Amino acid sequence: MFRVLKRVVLGALVLGFSAGTAGAAEITLTVHHFLPPISNTHKNMLLPWAEKVMAESQGRLKIEIYPSMQLGGAPPQLANQARDGVVDIVWTLPGYTPGRFTKTEVFELPFMHTNAVTTNLALSEYVEKHGDEFRDYKVIALHVHPGNSFHSATSIKSIGDFKNTNIRTPTRTGAWLIEAMGATPIGAPVPKIPEMLSKGIVDDVMIPFEVALPLKVHELVDHHVLLDDPKYTRINTSVFMLVMNRKKYDSLPADLQKVIDQNSGKNIATWLGEIWDVAEAKGMEAALQSGEIVKLSPQETAKLRAVTEVPVTERWIEEIRQKGIDGAALVREARELLAKHAN
């Protein structure tokens, strides 16, 4: 079992705020995540979100943010930390706890996602109807990044170049996709990526450029691969969750719950997508300075789609059918929502 620190650890990046002439905060909320303080998530998402919430609470809420797992545990434990009330809020991936948040996996299927804003808006509406898997949480946001690219130690010009390679992925649907490509999936949290690349444990990693930048992946590999397709430049994306312990949320006064609500769901979906798009561009710039960004040709992209989209989607549908869930209906609904919110 992990131990939660009772005091601010040396070097922890903690955020506190009091608005106007208000006195000491009535309630302190802790936020825990696995990325470093230089990451886009920490600097451009969690800090501004916390500042806005605290300001709108008139100083009654104080939010302390702990990056890099500073409160103990490992990234796959974050969902449990929030569920069990060990911390108040976490930012993590549903995919780090395979099999628990199966309904949101539909947005991670190959050739489903097009861009972050569209998918965020679709996700926000989707979870309003299919949020039963999050009953232990107050969902602040479900969102995605701009999409996974392949960052490779070797040149990739065709889907055949992926065969017999080891590719890091964070989710089980990503693992199925990699298997369909003829490669071997290696599951691991983001912080493990630099070590895995430097030691040759993996040949490629599937992450967006935004994540590659703080991990300095562009210094470890020279080849970054996109898809040459008018709609799908990325093969898939990953879903993230910013969630709060449900009992903690329920214990808040109604007016403070309202502050949280006003900074949740569809109210911040577009903003979150735009944040990731800006950070993605910076990551791509760094990759270009140290290596190459190439696109699989339209022909190779079509081959990749043929061997991944239908097989992985059908595998997912069958997998969750065994849990009594109509996956085919969820796929149709997700595609309809994505079309509705396309921008």
Dump pLDDT digits (tens) for 204-242. 999 999 999 999 999 999 999 999 999 999 999 999 999
Beta-carbon contacts of 4 under 8 Å, excluding residues fewer than 6 positions away, are 71, 72, 81, 86, 87
What pLDDT shows up at residue 64?
98
Above 50 in pLDDT, residue 336? Answer: yes
What CATH class is the domain 27-145+238-279? alpha beta
Q: Is the pLDDT of residue 3 over 70?
A: no
- Give residue 88's pLDDT: 98
Instruction: Give the predicted TM-score (pTM) of the model.
Output: 0.90
Q: Residue 23's pLDDT band (boundaries 50, 70, 90)?
A: low
**φ, ψ (nearest 5 deg) of residue 81:** -60, -40
pLDDT computed for residue 98 by the predictor: 87
pLDDT in tens, 51-100: 999 999 999 999 999 999 999 999 999 999 999 999 999 999 999 998 89
User: CB-hemisphere CA count at 13 Å for 256?
Assistant: 19
pLDDT of residue 326: 98
The answer to whether domain 27-145+238-279 and domain 149-236+282-340 are alike in fold is yes
Radius of gyration for the alpha carbons in the chain, expressed in angstroms and rounded: 20
Q: Confidence class of residue 325 from pLDDT cuts 50, 70 and 90?
A: very high
- pLDDT category, 33, cuts 50, 70, 90? very high
Residue range 149-236+282-340 forms a domain whose CATH class is: alpha beta
Q: What is the mean pLDDT of residues 278-294?
A: 94
Compute CA 75 distance to the chain's CA centroid, rounded to the nearest angstrom: 12
CA distance 181 to 292: 22
Provide, rounded to the nearest whole percent, the portion of the chain with pLDDT above 90.
Answer: 90
Identify the burial level of 302 via C-beta atoms within 10 angstroms of its C-beta, where 0-12 means exposed, 13-18 middle and 19 or more buried. middle
Report the percent of the chain where pLDDT is more than 70: 93
Quick check: 258 pLDDT over 60? yes
For residues 170-194, average pLDDT: 94
Average pLDDT, the chain: 92
In this prediction, residue 5 has a pLDDT band, given cuts at 50, 70 and 90, of very low
Residue 296: exposed, middle, or buried by beta-carbon count in 10 A (0-12, 13-18, 19+)? buried
What are the residue boundaries of the structural domains of the chain, listed by start?
A: 27-145+238-279, 149-236+282-340
SS3 letters for the chain? Answer: CCCCCCCCCCCCCCCCCCCCCCCCCCEEEEEECCCCCCCHHHHHHHHHHHHHHHHHCCCCEEEEEECCCCCCCCHHHHHHHHHCCCCCEEEECHHHCCCCCCHHHHHHCCCCCCCHHHHHHHHHHHHHHCCHHHCCEEEEEEEECCCCEEEECCCCCCHHHHCCCEEEECCHHHHHHHHHCCCEEEECCHHHHHHHHHCCCCCEEEECHHHHHHHCHHHCCCEEEEECCCCCCCCCCCEEEEEEEHHHHHHCCHHHHHHHHHCCCHHHHHHHHHHHHHHHHHHHHHHHHHCEEEEECHHHHHHHHHHHHHHHHHHHHHHHHCCCCCHHHHHHHHHHHHHHCCC
Count Cα neighbours of 231 within 13 Å in the Cβ-side half-sphere. 11
Kindly indicate the confidence band of residue 6, based on its pLDDT and cuts at 50, 70 and 90: very low
**pLDDT greater than 70 at residue 22:** no
CA–CA dist 143, 342 (Å, integer): 15
Amino acid letter, residue 88: D
Task: Tell whether the model's pLDDT for residue 114 goes beyond 90.
Answer: yes
CA dihedral (295, 297, 303, 305) positive or negative = positive
What average pLDDT score do residues 12-38 get?
A: 69
Is 241 within 8 Å of 142 (Cβ atoms)? yes
Q: Is residue 188 exposed (0-12), middle (13-18) or buried (19+ Cβ within 10 Å)?
A: middle
Res. 170 pLDDT band, cuts 50 70 90: confident
- What local confidence, expressed as pLDDT, does residue 25 receive? 81
The answer to which of 15-24, 166-175, 333-342 has the lowest mean pLDDT is 15-24
> What pLDDT is stored for residue 24 in this prediction?
72
